[in-house]
Structure 1
Amino acid sequence: MAYQALYRVWRPQRFEDMIGQEVITRTLKNAITTNQISHAYLFAGPRGTGKTSAAKIFAKAINCHHQTDGEPCNECETCKAITEGTLNDVIEIDAASNNGVEEIRDIRDKVKYAPTVADYKVYIIDEVHMLSTGAFNALLKTLEEPPANVIFILATTEPHKIPATIISRTQRFDFKRIAANDSYARMTYILDQKGVTYDEQAVKVIAKAAEGGMRDALSILDQALSFGDNEITLDNALLVTGSVTHELLATYVQQVLAGDTKAALATLQSVLEAGKDAERFTEDVISYARDLLLYQQAPQLVEEAEMGSVSDDFQALAKQTPAQTMYAMINELNAIQQQMRFTTHPDVYLEILTIKLAEIGRQVGAAQPAAPTAAASAAPQAAASSTELTSLQHEVDQLRNTVKQLEQAPVAAKPAAAKPRTTKAAPVKEVNLAKIYPVLGSATREKLNQLQEVWPDLLDTLSITQRAVMKVSQPVAAADSGVIVAFDYSFLYQRATTDHELTDALENGLDRMIGTALPVVFVPKDEWPTIRKNYLTDHREELQNNAESPEPTKPAPNPVVTKAEELFGKDVVDVKND
């Protein structure tokens, strides 16, 4: 038999074999075991995340007479026929090449016939977003009310191109990108089964280069196996993926941060001479700068993404590099990356990029020597002459006299000196209280409990970058008018408030999970207690007016306490300040 690619040989045949889609597989298995099967499903997500595989497994499970806990047996004739693609009742259609009205009309005419062998006739339409407008209209009525024992499974990588009238007639499942850890575990399992020797660091490089696609990861692994004669080494993995070693990347970043343009250009030249892809190199530098920035605020996020391989040099560089420098570097990298897409000389852009990054590094280096200079001059200052000491003492005396004069001045002149105290409220002004207070006015504990239950599943629907930002957040108040989310780190709070795509993704996810697209408002966790206390204080009279009259035999409840219990529950929490 001819050689088959790894992603075909190791295609999942059971739900438990699928990687990184636990929420979806559990939902589908429960639907099968409880016989709550819908007539139409929409599987959306990035390429290589298991959409078509899940559709075939689902088709086998609903037609298998020996399935257990929603899993097909893969041993009966029906399961084998579906696996081999020879069962006439499971029809797989590529919408990219069959996107006309006539093809869909043919489906509409044949769908009324009962299945011949299986219990259900299943239509799997891959890349369904490629259908024409007329084809979608032809499919609409059949998709809404198909005959009995007919199921449609639509798969797409671009769900925004599908008409809302189609989406509303399906159960939608959003497949997420597969984490590098999960890809690494799957590839090592396959290599162990094949008896291939491999370098763990090389497999990690492939897992990160796949960018969340399991099929891409196995394709790169297949290529590395062919290149290395059934052996996976780090050098082979770097050559196949076009990546550079972590050490070389760290050297380049250290050189540009130090402002050493000549050394950085020499390092870049060695990268290009090794045949590395220019765009891939830019992506690696952006990823490295992003990791440095995140490590300053949330080290555990970087350690998880790097699968525990965070070097001492990286930690030291993250501590000594200001965040503003990383902002400037990422902006410059992003601008050059956009320009490189339309050029035939990417090496020129990389050289320009290196010079610009080195200039940013020199600007930082010019600002930092102030601290060493102060430390170096500590000894001469200790041996200052008596004349300098006398001069300093005279200045201190003058300052004391000035303070006494201010204290004896009329009271009307003092408010000007007291004004700077209002700066204490400056951090709170960054929070949009106009959106927070209406939510607090109608917030309930029941709504907050509902949000906290679906919060982990909601984060699973986000992209890798969005999930990294939201991982250190949690809902702290919720109502029918919105939800308030607190962030552990102010840096991630600032980033989330300016990311409109993240807000849209959260609101759309809530719409799918609880049936309501609640507006999402962000707050820093350290400011949340103050905001909550200020709200209860400022609205004390309003809460008293809205409170119901108590029974004569019972003492009147405190409306502020009652509102606080509605918002945050009756549990007593002992807060200890550090």
Structure 2
Amino acid sequence: MSYQALYRVWRPQRFDDVIGQNIITKTLKNAIITNQLSHAYLFAGPRGTGKTSAAKILAKAINCPNQKDGEPCNECEICKSITNGTLNDVIEIDAASNNGVEEIRDVRDKAKYAPTQATYKVYIIDEVHMLSTGAFNALLKTLEEPPAHVIFILATTEPQKIPATIISRMQRFDFKRITSKDILDRMEYILNQKDIEYDDKALKVIAKAAEGGMRDALSILDQVLSFGMDKVSYENALEVTGTVTKDLLAKYLENVINNDVKDALLNVREMLESGKDAARFVEDVIKYCQDLLLYQQSPEMVEESELGVMDDSFKKISDEIKPTTIYQMIVDLNDIQNQMRYTMHPDVYLDVLTVKLGTIGDQEVNTQTVANSATNVKPSAPAVNNNEVAELKKEISNLQNQVQKLSQSSGGSVNNTASQPVEHAQATQHRAPAHRGNDEHINLTQIYPILDNATRKDLVNVQGIWDELLQHLDVTKRAMMNVSKPVAASHDGVVVSFEYPFLFTKANNDRELSDALDNTLDSILGYVPKIVFIPGDKWPEIRKGYIVAQKNNDRPTSENSDKNEQSSVENSEEKPDNVNETDEKEPKIVKQATQLFGKDILDIKDD
């Protein structure tokens, strides 16, 4: 027999063989034991996590005449036929190539016929999210009222693309990414069964490169075995995966941190000459920086995710580098990574990146020096022009005389009028910071319309899908957005604050990030609300400025005069008979605050 890939030979044949999905396999076994089977299941999760394997095991278990404790025997004729794919009563359909209405209508028509050999007729539809809208509609009625002898198992990597009407008619199981530790244990078991020597460090490199997919890990292991003539060595694993050694990464970052640009450039040359991919090198540096950042906060978390491969160099760098430096390095790495996608000379960009990273420390020192100098310098006293002072005193005296005469002639009513411009100027002066902020970055004309229609319900909805939204982003964009959170939302817009101002600036200028967020929101929510970024430290000031602006009808647009005129016209009209007096007496600012923050958290007090 010809050679078969490892992931095919070692595909799980029992629920206990499925790695890293204990909750799902236990639930399915208990359902089989108690005979509480559903008519339809949805298996969702990343690639290579066991969805299709679990579907075939379930098909065997419910039809196996010798099943025990929810597990198939894998010895009877039915189990062997399902394993080989020759049983007519278990039909596997690839929705990527059979996604039309006619194919699903054919399934619907044939589902009404009883199985020929097995107890249940099982339809396994893989990548079901590829079905067209018409195909989903054709499947809907069958899922709602299926024949008693039919069970549907749908598998997908993108459940958000499946209509809610389909999902609501089946039991959903979410397969999670397999941990590196579980992948490592499974590869060790397979190699021990095949009696093949291996290096522990090599398997750890493969487990990390698999990114949570068991099938990917076994495919990489297959390549390493072929490359090394059935020997799994650390060097061979690095060659096949294109991963840069931890030692080289540590040397590179140490040189960068110490501003030793010359040696850092030599490290880059060494990496390129050894045949490593430049894009993979940048990705490895980003991952290394992420581990440094997490290690400073939670060493146990990093040691677990890195399978304990934490050398002294890593710990030394973690003690020396500041978090702010790591943030800036990740931003620079992300910039270079985006630019390298469109170049035929990645080595040039790596050299530029190295010089840029090597001068981050100098930039911080220069910034601190300038700040200290600005603090220590005392402003010089402006030159005094005696003539101007005399003229100003004379003008003030004349104005005071005019105000006194007007006050005497009008019984003092003018005094109040005269003081209004001063009070208005003072009020405007107090409001100004909320409107100024960062004029070049914060556009209040985009934020205020969102706040006008913002509700607590919309904010809770956005917060509920925020983690799912971030998971759809790539590593660098997700790292940037991890320090952000939605603080206000309406149906048409979301205000997102960033914990660090420099990440806000970076995100505000990142067009690719904006496009990625829009596309993901469209797939999750079905529509695209406008996202407006703000720095987190400015949010209380913006919110306060908005409330004051609502109270004084002062909006940051050029239409103020028209709106004020319209408001005065509306106020002069008679109130309709059906207007609730309580609503009329309730101040507008209270209504806006109730709509924005929710009535349950408001405490309204009279001045």
TM-score, structure 1 as length reference: 0.64
Amino acid at match of 1:180: S
Secondary structure of the 2:359 match is helix
| 1:108-123 equivalent positions in 2, closer than 5 A | 108-123=108-123
- Residue 282 of structure 2 corresponds to 282
Matches within 5 A, 1:69-80: 69-80=69-80
Q: Which residue of 1 aligns with 2:253?
A: 253
Contact 1:114 1:149 in 2 (8 A): yes
How many residue pairs match? The answer is 392
CA distance in 2, matches of 1:253, 1:144: 58
Question: 1:288 and 1:310 mapped to 2: Cα distance?
Answer: 11
Aligned CA distance change for structure 1 residues 316 and 349 (closer, same or farther; 3 Å):
same
CA distance in 2 between partners of 1:278 and 1:205 (Å)? 18
CA distance in 2, matches of 1:354, 1:5: 41
CA contact (8 A) 1:294 1:302 kept: yes
Query: 1:345 Cα shift?
Result: 2.9
Kindly provide the CA deviation profile for residues 367-390 of structure 1, in whole angstroms up to 9, marking residues without a partner as x: 999xxxxxxxxxxxxxxxxxxxxx
Change in Cα spacing, 1:333 to 1:344, as seen in structure 2 (3 Å) is: same
Q: How far 1:75 moved relative to its partner? A: 1.0
The AA in structure 2 aligned to 1:21 is Q
Aligned equivalent of 2:219: 219
TM-aligned CA deviation for residue 364 of structure 1: 5.0
| 1:194–1:325 CA distance, 2 compared to 1 (3 A) | same
CA distance in 2 between counterparts of 1:168 and 1:117 reads 31
Where does residue 446 of structure 1 map in the other structure? none
1:276 to partner: Cα distance:
1.1
Q: CA deviation at 1:348?
A: 2.5
Letter in 1 for 2:241: T
Whether the 8 Å CA contact 1:258–1:365 is kept in 2: the answer is no
Contact 1:296 1:318 (8 Å CA) reproduced: yes
Say whether 1:37 aligns with 2:37.
yes
The aligned residue for residue 303 of structure 1 is 303
Specify the alignment match of 1:139 in structure 2.
Answer: 139
The whole-number CA distance in structure 1 between the counterparts of 2:28 and 2:44 is 15
In 2, the alpha carbon distance for the partners of 1:9 and 1:212 equals: 20
- Map of 2:159 onto structure 1: 159
| 1:38-187 mapped onto 2 (5 Å cutoff) | 38-187=38-187
Q: Distance in 2 between matches of 1:114 and 1:252?
A: 66
User: What corresponds to 1:423 in structure 2?
Assistant: none
CA shift in 2, pair 1:141/1:345, >3 Å:
farther
Counterpart of 1:379 in structure 2 is: none
Map of 2:7 onto structure 1: 7
Cα distance 1:368–1:22, how it changes in 2: closer, same or farther (>3 A)? Answer: farther
Is the Cα–Cα contact under 8 Å of residues 258 and 362 in structure 1 kept in the other structure? no
Q: How many angstroms apart in 1 are the aligned matches of 2:9 and 2:89?
A: 24
Distance in structure 2 (CA, Å) of the matches to 1:358 and 1:237:
30
SS at match of 2:49: coil
Name the counterpart of 1:25: 25
Q: Does 1:228 align with 2:228?
A: yes
Rounded to whole Å, the distance in 2 between the matches of 1:169 and 1:206 is 39
Measured in 1, the distance between the counterparts of 2:368 and 2:198 equals 44
How many angstroms does 1:365 deviate by? 6.9
Matches within 5 A, 1:542-553: none
Q: Secondary structure at the match of 2:151?
A: strand
1:123 aligned partner, one-letter code: Y
CA distance in 1, matches of 2:51, 2:249: 35
Q: In structure 1, list runs of 5 or more residues that go unmatched.
A: 370-437, 439-457, 470-489, 506-578
Matches within 5 A, 1:278-427: 278-363=278-363
Change (3 A) 1:361 1:107: same
SS at match of 2:328: helix
- Distance in 1 of aligned mates of 2:245 and 2:103: 50
Question: CA shift at 1:158, angstroms?
Answer: 1.2
Are the counterparts in 2 of residues 256 and 358 from structure 1 also a CA contact under 8 Å?
yes
* Gap change, CA 1:361 and 1:225, over 3 Å in 2: farther
C-alpha distance in structure 1 between counterparts of 2:199 and 2:141, whole Å: 54
Partner amino acid for 2:41?
A: Y
Give 3-state SS (helix, strand or coil) of 1:91's partner: strand
Measure how far apart 1:351 and its partner are: 2.1
Q: Residues of 1 paired with 2:300 and 2:30: CA distance? A: 34
Partner residue in 2 for 1:208: 208
Q: Is the contact between residue 94 and residue 127 of structure 1 (CA under 8 Å) also seen in structure 2? A: yes
The CA deviation string for residues 87-134 of structure 1, in whole angstroms up to 9 with x for no partner, is: 110000111111111111110110000011111111001111111111
C-alpha displacement of 1:30: 1.3
Query: Take 1:339 and 1:140, find their aligned partners in 2: how far apart are those partners?
Result: 46
Query: In 2, distance between residues paired with 1:348 and 1:151?
Result: 57
2:304 is aligned with what amino acid?
E
Evaluate the alpha carbon distance shift between residue 345 and residue 136 of structure 1 in structure 2; reply closer, same or farther with a 3 A threshold. farther
User: Structure 2 matches for 1:441-460, cutoff 5 A?
Assistant: none
Per the normalisation by structure 2, the TM-score is: 0.61
Could you say which residue in structure 2 is the equivalent of 1:535? none
Q: Does 1:262 align with 2:242?
A: no
Cα deviation 1:405-449 (Å, max 9, x = unaligned): xxxxxxxxxxxxxxxxxxxxxxxxxxxxxxxxx9xxxxxxxxxxx
Q: C-alpha separation between the residues in 1 aligned to 2:77 and 2:147?
A: 25
Q: Tell me, in whole angstroms, the C-alpha distance in 1 between the residues paired with 2:105 and 2:160.
A: 24
Q: Quick check: 1:192 aligned with 2:210?
A: no
Letter in 1 for 2:64: C
SS at structure 2 position matched to 1:197: coil
State the distance in 2 between where 1:58 and 1:73 align. 12
Specify whether residues 300 and 85 from structure 1 end up closer, same or farther in structure 2 by C-alpha distance, changes over 3 A only: same
The 2-side partners of 1:340 and 1:38 are apart by 50
Please give the alpha-carbon distance, in whole angstroms, between the structure 2 residues aligned to 1:190 and 1:364.
51
CA distance in 1, matches of 2:339, 2:37: 49
Q: Distance in 1 between matches of 2:148 and 2:161?
A: 28
How far is 1:350 from its partner? 2.1
Change in 2 beyond 3 A, CA 1:183/1:111? same
One-letter code of the match for 2:338? Answer: Q
Rg comparison, structure with higher value = 2
Q: Counterpart amino acid of 2:188? A: T
Look up the match of 2:240.
240
Task: Write the distance in 2 (CA, Å) between the matches of 1:347 and 1:150.
Answer: 58
Give 1:43 deviation, angstroms: 0.8
Counterpart AA for 2:51? K
Alignment of 1:415-494 (within 5 A): none
Matched to 1:357, the amino acid is L
The residue type paired with residue 252 of structure 2 is Y
For 1:115, what is the secondary structure of its paired residue?
Answer: coil
CA distance in 2, matches of 1:169, 1:118: 24
1:339 deviates by: 2.7
Q: Which runs of 5+ in 2 are unaligned?
A: 370-455, 457-466, 480-498, 508-515, 521-607
Q: CA RMSD in A?
A: 3.2
**Distance in structure 1 (CA, Å) of the matches to 2:301 and 2:365:** 28
Moved more, 249-258 or 333-342: 333-342
| Cα displacement (A) at 1:341 | 2.7
How has the CA–CA distance of structure 1 residues 205 and 94 changed in structure 2, closer, same or farther, with 3 Å as cutoff? Answer: same
AA at the equivalent of 1:318: S
SS at match of 2:72: coil
Aligned equivalents of 2:34 and 2:332: distance in 1? 54
- Shift in alpha-carbon separation, 1:237–1:368, aligned structure 2, 3 A: farther
- CA contact under 8 A between 1:256 and 1:354: conserved in structure 2? yes
Residue identity in the other structure for 2:232? I
Post-superposition offset of 1:279: 2.0
Letter in 2 for 1:134: G
Q: Summarize deviations over 1:196-252 as a string: whole Å, max 9, x none.
A: 111100110000001111100000000000000000011100000000111011111
SS at match of 1:70: coil
The residue matched to 1:169 in structure 2 has which SS?
A: coil
**Would you say the 8 A contact 1:289–1:326 is kept in 2?**
yes
The residue type paired with residue 292 of structure 1 is L
In the TM superposition, residue 182 of structure 1 has moved relative to its aligned partner by: 0.8
What is the CA–CA distance in structure 1 between the aligned matches of 2:347 and 2:314, rounded to whole Å? 26
Q: Summarize the Cα distance change of 1:368–1:306 in structure 2 as closer, same or farther, 3 Å threshold.
A: farther
